[in-house]
Amino acid sequence: MELIYAILEKLPFAFLQYDFMKNAFLAVIFLAPLFALLGTMAVNNNMAFFSDALGHSALTGIAIGMVLGLKQPLLCMIAFGILLSIAITKVKGADMLSSDSIISVFSSAAMALGVVLLSQEGGFAKYSYYLIGDILTITQNDLILIIVTLIVCYIVWILLYNDLLLVSINRSFAVSRGVNVTFTENVFVILVAVTVMISIRWIGILTINSLLILPAAAARNISVNVKQYHCITTIIGCISAIVGLVLSYEWGTSAGASVVLVAAVIFFVTLFFRKK
Amino acid sequence: MKKCSILLLCILIMFSGCSNQKQQPQQQTITVVASFYPVYILAKNITDGVKGVTLENMAQPQTGCLHDYQLTTKDRKALEKADLLLVNGAGMEAFLEGVKQQYKQLPVVDTSVGVELLDTQHHHHHHHDEEEHSEKEELYNGHIWLYSENALKQAENICSALCQKDSKNKQQYIKNLELFQQDIKNFQTQQKSQQTQQKVISFHEAFDYAAEEYGFTICAEVLVEEEKTPSAKELTQVIDLAKQQHITIFFAAEDEGKKYAEIIAKETGGKVYLLNPITTGELQKDAYLKAMEQNRNIIQEAIGL
């Protein structure tokens, strides 16, 4: 860790002399590729709304954790996130309603449950920092957690990549090629759920989905093949994370929102360079 | 149609039955509602042992500070049957205006009347008169109860309001107040001679009043509010300040502010001390002095008295 800190101090950013900024810097650098990876597939599968719902359900996870008297609600959040995403996938697979309606139903139900539980003691405002989040409070242990999640995601990704791609192109086609569609989809949504829940404390409920979707959407505008798509997403994610963090430092604004804003600007720029 | 009207009739009878039952005991007792924890435990000292007075705490004890508190249905139920509402005042109860509008009959007692208020930003003194009630209140720091002198004043205000409302128990209220006065005096004499000018950094607004009590100097404040977290710039400025002036004492409460205190302590090699802002805790009458004594022990350890 000391070595990494020493390297970071060599970088031409004044704020990197502070340890907490180093932690935040490392965090965004690791979070960006993680989100990029999941974002590419979320965009391909038209799941932008799904991850949004997942972000909102973090609130319910916190509420349940609080009711159970847990000090750290993270486990509860992850468990609830996984439960919700599997439920959504299952109901979606039954083809009863269009998927946006189904996601909306689950999202609002989860959100309402969260608000009811949290407001039970009138203390909803106490949890409102989860809405914006704060990347500055990240600790070294949190960083390790992020890195482990990143590694696990990459491993699962490599193992399941072809199956996921087939499913995203066409479900029936994937089935005909012998892919276990339900399993693949579930693994993917669990990955998204875990990632979103782990990082929501730092990114915030309101902005987390944009971080997942924007870099991938921007990259989709300008990339010509799948390989390029992934690379560009990661690059855009990293750039917007670093620039956003620097801007938030200079302006004294929320880091998560600044990162999203930069990513949005990149998205609009890429619109003009759109490949046909 | 017939069924419907019978059903309606039944419901009507049920409801009228309910309200009849409720009204009877109300005539004998008075119900006093405290807006939140510190007001409650102060009032508890005054109403202790007095018959025919029910003291209720409105906001649940877990709530903490009231800045953005929203009244729950439960709170409204408590207000509905209240004869007197005790509030901390000085801008603590943001919901107060709405309550005043809705429950026009309910007398509201502002316990902060006559207390010296501190600014939220700078540490100037303001004398708080009744006429001064205005939108300006937001500018003042409302956590007055952390200075024992203020708590005493609040207890006095509570006592005189109760004496007025429930004059037949006047003697007992005054006796209780005298007991509380004695306790506070004892508490104060134990530490008045130990004033210090030690520099600290605070992570909770409430500690401004603790600084009044013990005389330590708050050089910088890092405040976490519901709608705003400290920015990176703010943190780096505080870190630089702490390094420059060799401040190694950081006072935080067990809340979000603690995280930032830990960040800064790690960066500067200082130590975080957790103080109790007395916004939550046990609903007992000696809870106030107990918490104050605990805080004093921690502060004494921190500044090495």
* CATH no. for B192-303: 3.40.50.1980
Least confidently predicted of A24-28, A108-112, B74-78? B74-78
The 3-state DSSP class for residue A91 equals helix
CATH code assigned to A2-272: 1.10.3470.10
- E strands, chain B, in order: 30-34, 53-57, 84-87, 108-110, 116-119, 125-127, 140-141, 199-202, 217-221, 249-252, 271-274
In angstroms, rounded to a whole number, what is the distance separating the alpha carbons of residues A39 and A215? 7
Backbone φ and ψ for B82, nearest 5 degrees, come out as -75, 150
Residue spans in chain B of domains classed CATH 3.40.50.1980: 29-189, 192-303
* pLDDT for res B226: 60
pLDDT band at A265, cuts 50/70/90?
Answer: very high
Per-residue pLDDT tens digits for A74-107: 888 999 999 998 988 888 877 777 878 888 888 8
Question: What pLDDT score does B8 carry?
Answer: 66
Secondary-structure percent of chain A, ordered helix, strand, coil, rounded to 5: 85, 0, 15
- Nearby residues of B302 by Cβ (< 8 Å), 6 or more positions away: B198, B200, B249, B251, B271, B273
Q: What is the pTM of this model?
A: 0.75
* A256 touches A266 (CB < 8 A): no
Prediction ipTM score: 0.71
Instruction: Please list every residue in chain A whose beta carbon sits closer than 8 Å to the beta carbon of residue B266.
Output: 19-20
Nearest to B229 among A18, A124, A132 (CB): A132
Q: What is the pLDDT of residue A92?
A: 80
pLDDT in the model for residue A209 = 87
CA distance A134 to A129: 8
Partners of residue B260 in chain A, C-beta under 8 Å? 136-137
Would you say residue A49 has pLDDT above 90?
no
Per-residue pLDDT at A18 exceeds 90 = no
Find chain B residues with C-beta within 8 A of A19's C-beta. Answer: 266-267
Cβ contact, residue pair B263, A137, below 8 Å? yes
Angle, in degrees to the nearest 10, between helices A181-203 and A140-169:
150
pLDDT of residue B14: 58
Measured CA to CA, the distance from residue B225 to residue A46 in angstroms comes to 37
Which residue positions in chain B have pLDDT lower than 50?
Answer: 18-26, 122-137
For position B53, what pLDDT does the model report?
86
Asked if A87 contacts A68 with a C-beta cutoff of 8 angstroms, the reply is no
pLDDT at B25: 46
Residue B135 has what pLDDT?
43
Contact between chains at B232 and A248 (C-beta distance less than 8 A): yes
Three-state DSSP state, B54:
strand
Contact B224 A20 (CB under 8 A): no
DSSP B190: T
Please choose, from the candidates A61, A62, A122, A128, the residue with its C-alpha nearest in 3D space to the C-alpha of residue B62. Answer: A122
Position A240 scores a pLDDT of 92
Min Cα distance A159 → chain B (Å) is: 38
pLDDT of residue B7: 65
Between the alpha carbon of residue A213 and those of residues A11, A41, A88, A204, B167, the distances in Å are: 29, 9, 19, 15, 67
Classify each residue of A82-117 as buried b or exposed e, where b means 16 or more C-beta atoms within 10 Å of its C-beta.
bebbbebbebbeeeeeebeebbeebbeebbebbeeb
CB-CB: which of B64, B69, B236 is closest to A18? Answer: B236
What was the pLDDT predicted at A144?
92
Facing B233 at nearest CB: one of A126, A137, A249:
A249
Homologous superfamily, domain B29-189 = Nitrogenase molybdenum iron protein domain (3.40.50.1980)
Nearest chain A residue (CA) to B67? A125
Q: Tell me the domain boundaries of chain A.
A: 2-272
Percent of chain A scoring above 90 in pLDDT = 21
Mark A124-155 as b/e (b = at least 16 C-beta within 10 Å): bbbbebbebbbbbbbeeebbeebeebbeebee
Residues of B in contact with A253 (CB under 8 A): 231
Q: Which of A110-124, A141-155, B82-96, B214-228 has the highest mean pLDDT?
A: A141-155
- Gap between the terminal Cα atoms of chain A: 45
Cα B51 to Cα A54: distance, rounded to the nearest angstrom = 54
Q: Decide: helix, strand or coil at residue B36.
A: coil
B192 versus A233: the higher-pLDDT residue is: A233
